[in-house]
Amino acid sequence: MNNKIEIAFGKHIKRLEKDVAKTQTRIDEQSLSNDGMEAIGIRDDLKKIALLREGVIPKYSDLPAASIGGENNLPKIEMFEFADLLNLVDETKAALHDLDLIDYGKELGSHHAKAKAKFDKANAAHKEVNKRHGLSI
């Protein structure tokens, strides 16, 4: 890694360390839960710091898994907050970054449309059963 890239990684590490310290202060001062959103944000930032220290640009899929289900199901796409690093490390990948996010959004949209179609079909069947039994909702 060259000096320019190391400096850029270091700036992100320092920024995240400050964010963690501020958030931890807020948790302590307001007696917030160690399982709450603030604490989850700290864990996410600490994971990002660890990756950056290894010279790895964090991806959305690198974030800790949810407590329910065990996976975060996020895309293997570099986080937008590190776009400057991506430009320094791999300009080609940086140019395609937004397209990757757009493709992921389209994929989510198609899953939503399929789920809505299943829901509508089940809802129609439920209404038909109720109608046959003389029930109304």
Q: What is the pLDDT of residues 18-32, one digit of tens each?
A: 999 999 999 999 999
59 and 75 share one domain: yes
Give residue 105's domain range: 91-137
Residues 102 and 129 in one domain: yes
Please give the helix or strand (H or E) that residue 100 lies within, else none.
Answer: helix 91-132
18 lies in the same domain as 2: yes
What span, in angstroms and rounded, lies between the C-alpha atoms of 22 and 27? 9
Q: Which two tokens stand for residue 108?
A: 């989510």
Q: How many domains does the chain have?
A: 2
Interatomic CA distance for residues 103 and 52, integer angstroms: 26
| 73 SS3 class | coil
**pLDDT tens per residue across span 52-108:** 999 989 988 888 776 665 666 777 888 889 988 888 887 766 566 566 666 766 776
pTM over 0.75: no
Task: Using the 3D structure, point to which of 89, 108, 123 is the last residue of a domain.
Answer: 89
Asked if 101 and 52 sit in the same domain, the reply is no
13 and 72 share a domain? yes
